[in-house]
Amino acid sequence: MDRVQHFTSPDPCVSLISGHYQSFEFDRHYHLDYHFGLILEGQQAFASQGERHRVGPGDIIIMPPDVLHDGQAMLDSGYKTQVFSVEPHWFNEMHITRSSQGQLTFTDNVIQDPIVFQSLTQAYMALCNEELSQLARDCLPFEGFSPLVERYGQSHAKPIYALGKSNLERLRAFLLAHLAEPVSLQQLADLCHLSPSQFQRQFKAKVGMTPYAWFSRLRLEQAMKLLKAKIPGTDVAQQVGFYDQAHFSKAFKHSFGVSPSQIR
């Protein structure tokens, strides 16, 4: 049986996910944040950037923002994982990276390092402890992630996905500002000074998803952020363009494995 919990940590930029996945499978998707997964039990398979991976206990999965990937259990017993969801700007603001310029990248999608795994596991468990002092809560994310970033982190210029005379970042900003509105293919093509057919071809070739699938995921990613900010689910559904609460709940659960009401 699948058991999944999404909840916030004392640091609003760091969210936590605890999951035991058996039958649930993640379709190809992306995140707006970094996701760092600690495999505790079982085995998981996932595909990302043209490579297929199989991971087990002690492995750390690193998934940067915007990277397409999927995921499923390899055994009938499933797999157990603890995941940090970290907003991209947090690393620079915490001065964990060596450089404040560029985007934090990592050498591999999967890392096997007992010291780093233990550091992240301890931080995760401590952040779940409601009796922890405020000072400890403030310091824990920095302490937990420092070994990972020091050993495997690099700073590179953020990749620019050019689309005609625009790029993916500008499209994202436009769509985030119009999540609750009906957006047409012609509007997006016009932003890039392309025809609709040219825009669709370029978008799929560079991003790896159709514009519709990418925008649908963007709505759900933003919905997750709003729910974690304690905004009521009915308001969230309308803010991200779902006018039917049942449709929103179904789409949300299909993507994340939990209903909107279970986010805390």
Give me the tens of pLDDT residue by residue for the chain, a chain 264 residues long: 899 999 888 888 999 999 999 999 999 999 999 999 999 999 999 999 899 999 999 999 999 999 999 999 999 999 999 999 999 989 887 766 655 567 888 989 999 999 999 999 999 998 888 788 888 878 888 899 999 999 999 887 777 889 999 999 999 999 999 999 999 999 999 999 999 999 999 999 999 999 999 999 999 999 999 999 999 999 999 999 998 899 999 999 999 999 999 998
pLDDT for position 199: 96
Q: Would you kindly state where each structural domain of the chain is located, as residue ranges?
A: 3-156, 162-259
HEC assignment per residue over the chain = CCEEEEEECCCCCEEEEEEEECCCCEEEECCCCEEEEEEEEECEEEEECCEEEEECCCEEEEECCCCCEEEEECCCCCEEEEEEEECCHHHHHCCCCCCCCCEEEECCCEEECHHHHHHHHHHHHHHCCCCCCHHHHHHHHHHHHHHHHHHHEEEECCCCCEECCEEHHHHHHHHHCCCCCCCCHHHHHHHCCCCHHHHHHHHHHHHCCCHHHHHHHHHHHHHHHHHHCCCCHHHHHHHCCCCCHHHHHHHHHHHHCCCHHHEC
Residue 163 contacts residue 206 (beta carbons within 8 Å): yes
To the question of domain 3-156 being in CATH 2.60.120.10, the answer is yes
Phi-psi group of 122: left, alpha or beta (phi > 0 → left; psi -120 to 50 → alpha; rest → beta): alpha
Amino acid 96 reads I
Structure-block tokens of residue 194: 């392309």
Instruction: Give the sign of the dihedral formed by CA 24, CA 31, CA 207, CA 104.
Output: negative
If you classify domain 162-259 with CATH, what class do you get?
mainly alpha
Structure-block tokens of residue 10: 């004392």
pLDDT for position 95: 65
Quote the CA–CA distance of 136 and 8 in Å, as a whole number.
16
| Residues paired with residue 180 on neighbouring β-strands, in sequence order | none
pLDDT for position 26: 97
